């Protein structure tokens, strides 16, 4: 039976993949973003009702992160609006080891609606589709928590798990923790990218304070600086987040994608060999 599904964050790393997979299976997808009609805007609660109208299920990806102030209230209001719209199921993308995210999870879990919580480790795609791409292109990556071992997870795996949760009642009520199959630190990850691209990419460990100063000097807004300082300190500094989960194996019947496979596939796209914005500026 084909479903009507609202994908919130349909232009993001996981939402775009979730929407694509659902469409390929013939489901009717409504993209939840400000540019769509009806539009969906987290900052405008009055937009929730029209976006939810007629939907059977909702994939929820909160931007920029469930840890930021206001996220809990937004999730509360969305959940209540979903109940009024007779939505049957909610699938929430959450962060592994984030206390604030767990508060949002409880709102969804206590809603009375069918639900699945998907707790994700750090994404592989942060190195190719997000804030770590420019430093890689520049050949110089400086990050805090250099010794933290992280089971980086592929956004494609997250999307496949989320689609199964949206379509299959087998996963109702479950908290699915999605990680990669191995633990790597940032130096190892950067070296893996260097190996697959044939480039020299230097890595330097820095303190969280020094990293925050770098972001400030780059002109990034204070709330962005706060969020990334929080994620490095609270999330990567949490031993729980260094645990490998096998929920991807359970849901998809296969191993999670390892970082090398991701790096090799991404290297073939050429994204890591484009001219660096930083280098262009210097010249």
pTM of the model: 0.95
Taking the alpha carbons at both ends of the chain, their separation in whole angstroms is 57
Task: Note whether 64 and 88 are within 8 A (CB).
Answer: no
Evaluate whether residue 43 is within a structural domain: yes
Q: What is the pLDDT of residue 283?
A: 29
What is the pLDDT at residue 237?
Answer: 78
CATH number at residue 48: 3.40.50.720
**Per-residue pLDDT band at 282 (split at 50, 70, 90):** very low
Q: Smallest Cα–Cα separation from 141: which of 74, 91, 81, 190? A: 190
- Encode pLDDT of 145-165 as tens digits: 999 999 999 999 999 999 999
Pick from 23-32, 33-42, 101-110, 221-230: least confident:
221-230
pLDDT in tens, 206-241: 999 999 999 999 899 999 899 999 889 888 877 777
Q: Cα(24)–Cα(168) distance, rounded to whole angstroms?
A: 16
Tell me whether residue 22 is in a domain: yes
Provide the strand spans (E) within the chain: 4-8, 28-32, 57-60, 89-95, 114-120, 140-143, 175-178, 202-205
Contacts of 264 by beta carbon, 8 Å cutoff, 6+ apart: 196
Q: Which domain holds residue 70?
A: 4-121+155-178
3-class DSSP assignment, residue 84? helix
- Nearest Cα neighbor of 239 from 201, 183, 180, 192 is 183
Is the residue at 183 inside a domain? no
Q: Tally the domains of the chain.
A: 1
What's the rounded mean pLDDT across residues 109-119?
A: 98
Q: Does the structure show a pLDDT above 70 at 277?
A: no
Q: Place 278 in a pLDDT band, splitting at 50, 70 and 90.
A: very low
Helix (H, G, I), strand (E, B) or coil at 135: helix
The answer to whether position 54 is within a domain reads yes
pLDDT in tens, 124-149: 999 999 999 999 999 999 999 999 99
Judge whether residue 281 has pLDDT over 70. no
Does the pLDDT value for residue 8 go beyond 70?
Answer: yes
């Amino acid at each position: 039976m084909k479903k009507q599904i609202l994908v919130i964050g349909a232009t993001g790393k996981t939402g775009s993949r979730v929407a694509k997979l659902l469409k390929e299976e013939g489901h009717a997808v409504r993209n939840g973003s400000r540019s769509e009609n009806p539009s969906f805007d987290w900052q405008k609660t009055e937009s929730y009702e029209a976006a939810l109208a007629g939907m059977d299920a909702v994939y929820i990806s909160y931007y920029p992160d469930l840890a930021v102030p206001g996220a809990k209230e937004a999730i509360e209001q969305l959940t209540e609006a979903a109940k009024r719209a007779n939505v049957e199921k909610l699938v929430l993308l959450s962060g592994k080891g984030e206390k604030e995210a767990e508060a949002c999870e409880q709102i969804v879990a206590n809603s009375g609606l069918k639900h699945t919580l998907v707790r994700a480790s750090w994404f592989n795609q942060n190195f190719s589709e997000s804030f770590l791409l420019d430093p890689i292109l520049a050949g110089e990556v400086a990050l805090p928590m250099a010794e933290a071992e992280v089971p980086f997870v592929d956004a494609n795996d997250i999307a496949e798990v989320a689609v199964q949760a949206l379509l299959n009642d087998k996963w109702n009520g479950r908290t699915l923790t999605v990680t990669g199959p191995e633990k790597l630190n940032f130096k190892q990850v950067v070296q893996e990218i260097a190996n697959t691209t044939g480039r020299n990419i230097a890595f330097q460990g820095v303190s969280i304070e020094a990293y925050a100063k770098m972001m400030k000097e780059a002109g990034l807004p204070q709330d962005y600086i706060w969020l990334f300082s929080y994620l490095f300190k609270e999330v990567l500094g949490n031993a729980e987040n260094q645990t490998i989960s096998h929920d991807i194996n359970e849901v998809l019947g296969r191993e999670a994608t390892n970082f090398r496979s991701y790096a090799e596939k991404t290297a073939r796209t050429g994204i890591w060999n484009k001219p660096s914005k930083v280098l262009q500026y210097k010249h």
